[in-house]
Amino acid sequence: MTNAEEARHTSSLDLDVVVHLDETWYQEGYQEGGEAGRRRGRREGRAVGKAKGFEIGCELGFYKACSQIWLFVIKDSNTGEGEKVRSKEFDEIAAAKAIMDTTAAHRAIRTLEGIIKIVQDFPRQNVADVDMAAHVQRLRAKFRAVTSMLGISVKFPLHMSGRISDGETAGGVGALSF
């Protein structure tokens, strides 16, 4: 190859690099942006997951605790053992039990035991084939039913305080409600 041929060959290679430079930078930027987006998405997903998990855990604990206390009151209100822990709710439930017939009391007991079972069986890990939203909805429905049976009005405190409304999580991210 002569010097002239070599110069033309080198300049055509440089020209190809320059012509395709925008495509090269575009591809590199696209890949780096995709990786950065995946990292950020994982961080945000983890934060939203923790917030939602905390919210659901609080709600499940509330329902289970209420159910256990009410079950104690209904089963043991005749024994007098509940006198130590008297409260307005205790008196309301005891009064509701007094006017309930035996069938209604048994139905309330079964519903309370069902709530406790749902909470105990609630998945503690993310499982792809389990519909957690359906579990939570079923639990809320049973809780509403038992409060209606007992004639009391109780709501999950985080909803009452306005900290968590329908469609919003504890982390402030909307559209993830169950």
What does the block give as tokens for 64? Answer: 């289970």
Q: In this predicted structure, what is the pLDDT of residue 167?
A: 43
- Decide if 115 is inside a domain: yes
Domain assignment present for residue 173? The answer is no
| Cα dihedral 115, 116, 120, 126 sign | positive
- Could you tell me which residues are beta bridge partners of residue 168? 174
Looking up tokens 């209904």, which residue turns up? 74
Q: What is the pLDDT of residue 115?
A: 92
Nearest CA-CA partner of 116 in 92, 147, 143, 151: 143
Does residue 167 lie in a domain region?
Answer: no
The predicted structure's pLDDT at residue 2: 61
pTM above 0.75, yes or no: no
Residues 178, 167: Cα–Cα separation, whole Å: 8
In this predicted structure, what is the pLDDT of residue 8?
54
pLDDT of 116 reads 93
Residue 8 lies in a domain: yes
Q: Which domain holds residue 71?
A: 3-160
- Position 142 scores a pLDDT of 92
How many folded domains does the chain comprise?
A: 1
In a domain, 166, yes or no: no
What pLDDT score was predicted for residue 30?
Answer: 87
- How crowded is residue 38: how many other Cβ atoms within 10 Å of its Cβ? 10
With a cut of 50, list the residues of the chain below it in pLDDT.
78, 82, 160-178
Confidence (pLDDT) at 114: 92
What sign for the dihedral angle of Cα 176, 125, 115, 70?
negative
Q: What is the dihedral sign for C-alpha 18, 24, 28, 33?
A: positive
Distances in whole angstroms, Cα of residue 109 to Cα of each of 39, 81, 150, 176: 49, 18, 10, 32
Residue 169 domain-assigned (yes or no): no
DSSP-based three-state secondary structure for 114: helix
Is 168 inside any structural domain?
Answer: no
pLDDT at 13: 58
Q: Read off the amino acid at residue 47.
A: A
In a domain, 23, yes or no: yes
